[in-house]
Amino acid sequence: MRTAILRGATATAALLSVLSAGAHSAAAQPAQQNQAVRTPHVQPIRGGEVRHADFPHTRQGLIRAGKWVHRRGNCGDSFCTIQYYPPRNTYRAYKMFRCGTFRLLDFQGRYHTHNHGSLRVHLLDRNQKVIRRIASGGRPIVNWGPVFFVKTCKR
């Protein structure tokens, strides 16, 4: 009888081990999927510099990011916009300043922009063809899906 109880306990332990391994594998899958989540990034490739500020991923955080983009004190003589930034679960407001070309990585969605610069900004597709021109003082909402580059200081 004692041997039967031990065998039963061993079988139960083995079953629990298999089940917990299965649960562990299932739990690991979402983490692996999250690693593939897009990470927006701005990379200066010819001149120019980039700074950013993060805001909570809430309705209020998006409002604050929008105000940051449109406030000249924050963006100065620059071009500014917003993206959702999954690694920190924030809205990230980007400031692109000084004359240059900037590569946009994984930009998506429709977000506020503001050209605080004195010259035009050109939004370019993957072949660096102009999609849109934003005049000095322009504040359009931009669909970032087809935009791969930004050129500042265009006449």
DSSP 67-116: HHHH-HHHHSSEEEEEEEEGGGTEEEEEEEEEEEEEEEES--SEEEEEE-
Indicate whether 47 and 95 sit together in one domain.
yes
Indicate whether 25 and 53 sit together in one domain.
no
Indicate whether 16 and 51 sit together in one domain.
no
Domain span at residue 31 reads: 1-36
Indicate whether 58 and 19 sit together in one domain.
no
Indicate whether 11 and 77 sit together in one domain.
no
Beta bridge partners of 50: 96
**Calpha distance 65→81 (Å, rounded):** 9
Indicate whether 29 and 47 sit together in one domain.
no
At 109, phi and psi to the nearest 5?
Answer: 85, 180
Indicate whether 87 and 145 sit together in one domain.
yes
Indicate whether 5 and 77 sit together in one domain.
no
**Calpha distance 109→32 (Å, rounded):** 24
pLDDT of residue 107: 96
Indicate whether 58 and 110 sit together in one domain.
yes
Indicate whether 10 and 57 sit together in one domain.
no
pTM for the full model? 0.75
Indicate whether 149 and 99 sit together in one domain.
yes
Indicate whether 58 and 134 sit together in one domain.
yes
Count of domains forming the chain: 2
pLDDT of residue 68: 97
Which are the contacts of 154, defined by CB distance < 8 A and separation ≥ 6? Answer: 119, 120, 121, 122, 133
At 35, phi and psi to the nearest 5?
Answer: -65, -25
Tens-level pLDDT at each residue, the chain (155 residues): 444 444 444 443 333 333 333 333 333 333 334 455 678 999 999 999 999 999 999 999 999 999 999 999 999 899 999 999 999 999 999 999 999 999 999 999 999 999 999 999 999 999 999 999 999 999 999 999 999 999 999 87
